Every structure is written in structure tokens, then in C-alpha cells.
């Protein structure tokens, strides 16, 4: 009987281990499914800091401001907004006679408010501009018709808001969402240029 008890005792840890392993596997599957079904809205926010090319009228301009992106995963749409300040530098202007370093008013300071509402988004970032160093983790891309104001009114370069804007968010192994790029197409490129406008992701949260 003593030997029998010892054998029975030796089997019990293995049985418990198998039960625990099964329970852990079930919990892991449930967690993955819960993540896949998580449709809570996601909020992104950060800052933009870049320059327009010298080929745009009155450029190049310094471009600075804040941006935010709210992604509605349930509907597959997103809302984007950015508040930008633009002005030339003292000596970076391509037309040397356009800026007087002693007179800040000649730097043409002005603001832009950009908005994009209910625009479709996707996870196919292969259409996004390349970053250097390369971003290695795909994020998301939003594309649609935007509204861009100039000092609170219609923009002279695109008063009817016929331009399109592409918004890409990507990242790397350490920070999944780190980089933002904006790319205009249409009449607005005469002011912002056709190149990517770069920014940084500062926060990501679910609601």
C-alpha cells in the first residue's frame, strides 16, 4: 500500500501540470480573440516639425504645429486635424529680397487648420513614404479630401478644398507608432509641396 501511495503521489504533479497547461492555452486563445475583437476607438496625437521646399511660392517655410487622429475601428473611418503655424526663416528664403532679417513681419507668418472627417483607413502602409532610418512596423494610412484654412479663412491656393491628403503612421520594434507623414496632392501642393511633411507620434490611447 505504501508503494501504491507513492506511485499515486508521483502521478498527481504531472496531471496538475497538464491541467494548468490546458488552462493557460485556453486563456491565451481567449486573450488573442479579445484583442482581435477590440473595436474601441484609438486616439493618436503628436507634433509636426518640418520645412516646405524652396520651390513653393514664397518658400521655403518652416511648418510647426500639433495634430491628432481618432480612428473608429468599428466603422473603418478616421478623423484627422492639425493646427499649423508657417513662416520663413531670416536667411533660408530662396528669394533674398523677400525677407528683411530686421523685420519679422517680412517672414509671412500665417496659420493653417487642417481637418479630415470620416475618411477611410487601412493597414496597407506599402503606399506610404519611406522613412530614414526605415520604419519596420506597419501602422495605418488614412486618405481623403481635406479642408485647409489660411488664417481662419479659405486658403487662396485651394479655396474649394479639392486637394487630397494622405496620413501615414508607422514605427519600429521599440515604439510601434513613432512617425507621422502628411502628403498633399492637388492644388495645395503649390503651398505645401509634394514631399512628405514629417511629424512625431507623442501619445496613443484607446477610449
Could you write out the three-class secondary structure of 100-121?
CCCCHHHHCCEEEEEEEEEEEE
All 3 cell numbers of residue 202?
507623442
Q: What is the reported pLDDT for 33?
A: 40
Tens-digit pLDDT profile for residues 134-182: 999 889 999 999 999 999 999 999 999 999 999 999 999 999 999 999 9
Neighbours of 10 (CB within 10 A): 9
Cβ-contact 125, 168 below 8 angstroms: yes
Distance CA 191, CA 52 (A): 8
- C-alpha closest to that of 69 among 131, 3, 114, 16: 114
| 147-150 and 77-87 beta bridge pairing | unpaired
Nearest to 58, CA basis, from 10, 93, 8: 93
- The whole-model pTM stands at 0.77
pLDDT in tens, the chain (207 residues): 443 444 444 445 565 555 555 555 444 444 334 444 567 889 999 999 999 998 888 888 999 999 999 999 888 999 999 999 999 877 666 666 677 777 878 888 999 999 999 999 999 999 999 999 999 988 999 999 999 999 999 999 999 999 999 999 999 999 999 999 999 999 999 999 999 999 999 999 987
Spans of all domains in the chain: 1-37, 39-206
Amino acid at each position: 500500500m505504501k508503494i501504491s501511495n507513492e506511485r499515486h503521489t508521483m502521478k498527481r504533479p504531472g496531471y496538475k501540470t497538464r491541467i494548468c497547461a490546458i488552462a493557460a492555452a485556453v486563456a491565451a486563445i481567449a486573450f488573442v480573440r479579445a484583442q482581435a475583437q477590440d473595436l474601441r476607438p484609438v486616439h493618436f496625437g503628436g507634433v509636426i516639425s518640418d520645412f516646405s521646399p524652396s520651390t513653393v511660392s514664397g518658400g521655403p517655410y518652416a511648418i510647426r504645429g500639433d495634430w491628432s487622429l481618432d480612428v473608429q475601428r468599428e466603422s473603418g473611418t478616421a478623423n484627422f486635424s492639425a493646427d499649423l503655424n508657417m513662416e520663413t526663416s531670416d536667411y533660408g528664403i530662396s528669394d533674398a529680397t523677400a525677407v528683411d532679417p530686421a523685420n519679422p513681419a517680412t517672414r509671412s507668418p500665417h496659420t493653417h487648420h487642417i481637418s479630415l472627417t470620416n475618411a477611410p483607413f487601412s493597414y496597407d502602409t506599402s503606399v506610404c513614404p519611406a522613412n530614414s532610418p526605415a520604419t519596420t512596423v506597419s501602422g495605418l494610412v488614412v486618405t481623403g479630401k481635406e479642408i485647409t484654412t489660411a488664417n481662419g479663412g479659405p486658403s487662396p491656393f485651394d479655396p474649394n478644398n479639392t486637394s487630397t491628403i494622405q496620413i501615414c503612421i508607422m514605427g519600429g520594434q521599440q515604439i510601434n507608432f513613432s512617425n507621422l507623414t502628411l502628403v498633399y496632392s492637388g492644388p495645395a501642393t503649390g503651398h505645401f509641396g509634394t514631399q512628405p511633411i514629417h511629424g512625431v507620434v507623442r501619445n496613443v490611447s484607446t477610449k
